[in-house]
A and B are shown apart, each in its own frame.
Chain A
Amino acid sequence: MLQRDAYKELEDTIGPENVSEEQALLDGYAWQPSFSSSPKEKLDIWLWRPRPEAVVLPGSTEDVQAILKVCNRYKIKFKAMSTGWGAWNSPGTEGVIQIDLRRMNKILEINEENMYALIEPYVVGAQLQAEAMKKGLTPHIIGAGANTSVLASSTSMGGYGGTGISTSMSGRNVLGVEWVMPNGDILKLGAPGSNAGWFCGDGPGPSLRGIMRGMFGAAGGLGVFTKCAVKLFHWPVPHEVHVEGLLLDTMIKIPENIKFYFCFLPSFERFADAAYKIGEAEIGYMLVKQTIGSTLATMAPHLLRAIAQNQSIKAALNAFEHIFMFMIAANSKRDLEYQEKALKKIISETEGVLITISDMPTTASMALWGSIRSSLTPLAFRYSSSFATTLGSLVAWDNAVLQSKAGSEIKKQFVERGELFEDLVDNPWGGIYEGSTCFGHQEEIAFFDAHDLKTHKGWVEFEKTCVQAAVDTPMGVGISALGKGDIFGPLAGNYHIWQRKVKKAFDKEDLADSTYYITPEEK
């Protein structure tokens, strides 16, 4: 329990209605089953993280600043979260207060001319996209879904979404930033640091992008980000899309300038080649690996359960493991013709098969709008109740495909032992970024049931094995590297040493809970 004086100061700062230490309410912040590690033998305590001492709901940057001042006075650790999906959002240790940024939920500006949006922490991808599309623009939305905070993935986490080929990734899209540092001081990065608007993250004004977030972000370990500007991208459909249905029953009128394909390639190598060529040709609006296993797990889980019992069907489906979805969103008829022609040539050269689904209204509507909105991923819960991903470096595409291959091979052993759910094994998710192949990304998906000790432990062991493989091979620093700088650092310029120095310089009192960033002392 917090000192009474500290609690009273928090109440005085932001109002008693915005502070709580009710135990059951706090447990709403302590339950984090996604990407939660270290399951114990007793099922009912698996997924509880340390319960926060209190929860506060600031409504402004000034509120956040005042809260951090109280934390500094009383030496209280804090952890900020926005939409809060994933274990890294909750306190990693005891004695931490949770700063829930939910009340800071406004789109402050959509700057059409300079193609950026200025947002607060609780603006989610779907909201920003809906407003941006009214102006012919769209943001990057991460694969986790349109229900997640745009600011959080931009300032504090990794973040790849299916349209990355044309909308990059969150960490590279962040422009000006407002940062309340652990001591309560405000630092504005980029243009706002010189009162020059929000259009640039690197000047005029201080550019500390590498320190602020580096590759994967500090997951709350360096303070609280209260505003940021993010790039918006051209949305080539000249009208708002009228959407019927909710998700799997979605129906839209497919715009004439949009085409949607499934590309089947014969091998990992050809799969990699095709994406390289697409990047070099600078075509495409979306490119995402899509496997038979994940398609069935999300769209027809009962069918996958049935197939999992049948070796011959499984073997037949494994022939179609190297698939990606590809979308063209063209600016003109000629542009469309060019992109289609280039795609056909590339798939032909890489011995693949191209299937267009643009003329299949129900399938195309669901896949197309679901991909643009990034609303499909949580369907992965349908199969086994839980899923998680590992590996997933932001690296050269060859390396990403290597991770995919390695992840599949490792997973096969776990599936055969019944320690993970059958998903036809080849099941990575990701694609390439920024219209070129300078970056690629492939996360390996694994299905488990959090209620079932065997498969839940299977997930934990699978992740550990993949981490070890990433270090041993080596294959790069992936999403499982959060909080594991001491393991991955030696592979990549000893970044953990630098992270630790940054942490000490920016958070002398070690008040920003950095469980998923770097501990002040080496473990």
Chain B
Amino acid sequence: MELKDYERDMTGCSRCSICKWIPLNQIKSWRFANVCPSISRYNFHAYSGGGRMLMGLSILQGRSELTEVVTDIIYKCTLCGACDVSCKQYRDDIDISETLQAFRIRCVEEGQLIPEHTVMIDNLRREGNVFGKPKTERGRWAEGLDVKDINEEQADVFFHAGCNYSYDEELWPIVRGAVTLLENAGVDVGIAGGEESCCGGRAYEIGYQGELEKYAEDVIGRVKASGANKLVTACSDCYSTFKYYYPKIGKALGVEVLHITEYIDRLIREGKIKPTKSVPMRITYHDPCHLGRRGESYVGEWKGDNKLLRPLKYKRTGKEGVYTPPRNILKSIPGLELVEMERIKEYSWCCGAGGGVKEAYPDFSIWTAMERVEEAKATGAEAIVTACPWCERNFKDAIKESGERVEVYDVIELVLRAI
């Protein structure tokens, strides 16, 4: 859908600023009451969900131009969807996230491009990943693993590593460990290794709609050929893309899509994975946006002009995101003490890596991550645990830059310690 298709959403904005706060009933302190990294950092109303909607309306109605400054504001947003969750506590007829996505597509269509994003897309087209790492090295993460090559033989479960895990060596133990856990639990799993392709989600979120369609077709073809009945990924970004964006553009995968935490939780409950070793540690869990509020399944599009009349099942509230499985896993590990931060689940504070921010505005990205680190420290936790390579990488970078002493783990790493 185009920006003009959201004009009613934009004119519906009451300018109440609820998009800037976590849901009001959940505010527990002055310090951690904000929900939007962008307005919290840059302060002008235009940097909030509502403010961006009004810029869109202004441009749509010919009151102002889509300038470089406006484009910069549009992209200084991790597209985390927190504003949307807060707004939807009170509104049934406004979809902020969808509008902001349409705004980005419009920026690209009008040639208002962010140079760093252009590099990402060039990399993607050349090497099949936004980092520009050689295509030939994509499968290195799995070297030495005794796992089926899905390109050669069929398997029940297609394990999709994603670009970040495929190229970030420091994170390789997570995906290697995930595959090992599955195999040890008796799961018939296979990987695409060097032939795996990008999901296209990150390209879509920076406004390149065509890339999503192209990569969706590639992934669908590979999954179909694999004969798998499940696709499992450890990347929250990929998960959200498969669960929401693909069906939204009419390209559903046609198999059950699970995040690794959902699958491990299932295997633990079935007794196929048994975390028995004590991991004495006080930890807090960071909900990745793409696994949580943006990880809901696509439920279809309501056709009608007046969204006030839209059945509530079409409202994307974030409530159905994946929140319980990672917590179940952590709670199943002996010795591990899980303490919650103030902003969790649907109203979790973003890590700062999403929406093309890490690439284009690294200082803003690190600032956002450090806000979360401060919140984690306030719980007394020794470590932040998450379930997304983008979050983990950004937290690690932020902590390294700041000199803080907080550990960062993926849920899988702690399971591996407990086995």
Does chain A have a CB within 8 A of B26? yes
Can you offer 19 A-B residue contacts whose CB atoms are under 8 A? A24-B67, A24-B70, A25-B51, A31-B57, A32-B15, A51-B63, A57-B43, A84-B15, A85-B17, A123-B30, A124-B33, A126-B24, A131-B29, A145-B18, A146-B27, A246-B89, A246-B346, A375-B23, A381-B91
Q: How far is the CA of A314 from the CA of B91 in the complex (A)?
A: 25
Does chain B have a CB within 8 A of A384? yes
Asked if residues B347 and A379 are in contact (CB atoms below 8 Å), the reply is no
Does chain A have a CB within 8 A of B58? yes
Specify the chain B residue showing the minimal Cβ separation from A305: B309
The answer, among A23, A83, A243, A384, for a CB contact under 8 Å with B65, is: A23
Q: How far is the CA of A146 from the CA of B26 in the complex (A)?
A: 11
Asked if residues B25 and A85 are in contact (CB atoms below 8 Å), the reply is no
The answer, among A57, A248, A305, A379, for a CB contact under 8 Å with B44, is: A57
Does chain A have a CB within 8 A of B73? yes
Q: With both chains docked as a complex, state the minimum distance between the C-beta of B380 and any C-beta of chain A, in angstroms.
A: 16
User: How would residues 65 to 99 of chain B score, 1 for a CB under 8 Å from any chain A CB and 0 otherwise?
Assistant: 11101100100000000000100011111000000
Interface size class of B (residues with CB under 8 A): 35 or more
Q: With both chains docked as a complex, state the minimum distance between the C-beta of A231 and any C-beta of chain B, in angstroms.
A: 18
Q: How far is the CA of A305 from the CA of B28 in the complex (A)?
A: 36
User: How would residues 384 to 406 of chain A score, 1 for a CB under 8 Å from any chain B CB and 0 otherwise?
Assistant: 11100000000000000000000
The answer, among B11, B12, B43, B59, for a CB contact under 8 Å with A100, is: B43
Q: With both chains docked as a complex, state the minimum distance between the C-beta of B253 and any C-beta of chain A, in angstroms.
A: 30
The answer, among A44, A131, A145, for a CB contact under 8 Å with B16, is: A145
Measured between beta carbons, the chain B residues less than 8 angstroms from A369 are 25
Asked if residues B24 and A147 are in contact (CB atoms below 8 Å), the reply is yes
Asked if residues B63 and A23 are in contact (CB atoms below 8 Å), the reply is yes
Specify the chain B residue showing the minimal Cβ separation from A90: B15
Asked if residues A381 and B55 are in contact (CB atoms below 8 Å), the reply is no
Specify the chain A residue showing the minimal Cβ separation from B13: A31
Asked if residues A124 and B21 are in contact (CB atoms below 8 Å), the reply is yes
Question: Other than the known A27-B64, A302-B309, what 15 A-B pairs have Cβ atoms closer than 8 Å?
Answer: A24-B55, A25-B51, A25-B69, A27-B57, A32-B15, A84-B45, A102-B43, A107-B30, A145-B24, A146-B27, A147-B20, A243-B25, A247-B89, A385-B308, A450-B12
Does chain A have a CB within 8 A of B14? yes
The answer, among B25, B43, B63, for a CB contact under 8 Å with A375, is: B25
Measured between beta carbons, the chain B residues less than 8 angstroms from A102 are 43, 45
Measured between beta carbons, the chain A residues less than 8 angstroms from B27 are 126-127, 129-130, 146, 373
Measured between beta carbons, the chain A residues less than 8 angstroms from B28 are 130, 240
Partner-A contacts on B (CB < 8 A): 8, 11-18, 20-21, 23-30, 33, 43-46, 50-51, 54-55, 57-59, 61, 63-67, 69-70, 73, 85, 89-93, 306, 308-309, 311-312, 346-347
Does chain B have a CB within 8 A of A18? yes
Interface of A is mostly: mixed
Asked if residues A25 and B44 are in contact (CB atoms below 8 Å), the reply is yes
Q: With both chains docked as a complex, state the minimum distance between the C-beta of A519 and any C-beta of chain B, in angstroms.
A: 24
Asked if residues B21 and A245 are in contact (CB atoms below 8 Å), the reply is no
Measured between beta carbons, the chain B residues less than 8 angstroms from A5 are none
Measured between beta carbons, the chain A residues less than 8 angstroms from B92 are 301, 382
Asked if residues A47 and B11 are in contact (CB atoms below 8 Å), the reply is yes
Q: How far is the CA of A381 from the CA of B85 in the complex (A)?
A: 15
Does chain B have a CB within 8 A of A111? no
Does chain B have a CB within 8 A of A521? no
Q: With both chains docked as a complex, state the minimum distance between the C-beta of B24 and any C-beta of chain A, in angstroms.
A: 4
Asked if residues B90 and A378 are in contact (CB atoms below 8 Å), the reply is yes
Which 6 A/B pairs are nearest by Cβ-Cβ distance? A23-B64, A27-B58, A375-B24, A126-B27, A24-B64, A28-B45
Asked if residues A18 and B33 are in contact (CB atoms below 8 Å), the reply is no
Measured between beta carbons, the chain B residues less than 8 angstroms from A33 are 11, 13-15
Does chain B have a CB within 8 A of A20? yes
Specify the chain B residue showing the minimal Cβ separation from A298: B90
Asked if residues B17 and A84 are in contact (CB atoms below 8 Å), the reply is yes
Which of B30, B59, B64, B346 is the most central at the interface, judged by chain A CB atoms within 10 Å of its CB? B30
Q: How far is the CA of A239 from the CA of B45 in the complex (A)?
A: 36
Specify the chain A residue showing the minimal Cβ separation from B28: A130
Known: A27-B54, A57-B44. A85 touches B16 (CB 8 A): yes
Q: How far is the CA of A218 from the CA of B66 in the complex (A)?
A: 36
Does chain B have a CB within 8 A of A55? yes
Asked if residues B93 and A385 are in contact (CB atoms below 8 Å), the reply is yes
Q: With both chains docked as a complex, state the minimum distance between the C-beta of B55 and any C-beta of chain A, in angstroms.
A: 4
Does chain B have a CB within 8 A of A206? no
Specify the chain B residue showing the minimal Cβ separation from A247: B89
Query: Which residues between 18 and 65 of chain A lie within 8 Å of chain B, taking CB atoms?
Result: 18, 20, 22-25, 27-29, 31-34, 44-45, 47-48, 51, 55, 57
Q: How far is the CA of A28 from the CA of B48 in the complex (A)?
A: 10
Specify the chain A residue showing the minimal Cβ separation from B8: A451
Measured between beta carbons, the chain B residues less than 8 angstroms from A48 are 63
Which of B23, B65, B347 is the most central at the interface, judged by chain A CB atoms within 10 Å of its CB? B23
Asked if residues A247 and B63 are in contact (CB atoms below 8 Å), the reply is no
Measured between beta carbons, the chain B residues less than 8 angstroms from A450 are 11-12
Q: With both chains docked as a complex, state the minimum distance between the C-beta of A367 and any C-beta of chain B, in angstroms.
A: 12
Measured between beta carbons, the chain B residues less than 8 angstroms from A128 are 30
Specify the chain A residue showing the minimal Cβ separation from B85: A246
Known: A126-B21, A243-B26, A382-B91. A103 touches B58 (CB 8 A): no
Asked if residues A27 and B17 are in contact (CB atoms below 8 Å), the reply is no
Q: With both chains docked as a complex, state the minimum distance between the C-beta of B99 and any C-beta of chain A, in angstroms.
A: 14
Q: How far is the CA of A379 from the CA of B16 in the complex (A)?
A: 12
Q: How far is the CA of A31 from the CA of B46 in the complex (A)?
A: 11
Q: With both chains docked as a complex, state the minimum distance between the C-beta of A331 and any C-beta of chain B, in angstroms.
A: 24
Specify the chain A residue showing the minimal Cβ separation from B24: A375
Asked if residues B43 and A18 are in contact (CB atoms below 8 Å), the reply is yes
The answer, among B30, B89, B312, for a CB contact under 8 Å with A131, is: B30
Measured between beta carbons, the chain A residues less than 8 angstroms from B44 are 20, 25, 28, 55, 57, 100
Q: How far is the CA of A34 from the CA of B14 in the complex (A)?
A: 6
Specify the chain B residue showing the minimal Cβ separation from A141: B24
Does chain B have a CB within 8 A of A370? yes
Q: With both chains docked as a complex, state the minimum distance between the C-beta of B60 and any C-beta of chain A, in angstroms.
A: 9
Q: How far is the CA of A100 from the CA of B140 in the complex (A)?
A: 52
Measured between beta carbons, the chain A residues less than 8 angstroms from B12 are 385, 450-451
Specify the chain B residue showing the minimal Cβ separation from A383: B308
Q: How far is the CA of A386 from the CA of B15 in the complex (A)?
A: 11
Asked if residues B29 and A130 are in contact (CB atoms below 8 Å), the reply is yes
Q: How far is the CA of A18 from the CA of B43 in the complex (A)?
A: 8
Q: With both chains docked as a complex, state the minimum distance between the C-beta of B278 and any C-beta of chain A, in angstroms.
A: 28
Known: A29-B45, A34-B14, A127-B33. A22 touches B90 (CB 8 A): no
Measured between beta carbons, the chain B residues less than 8 angstroms from A375 are 23-25
Q: How far is the CA of A375 from the CA of B29 in the complex (A)?
A: 16
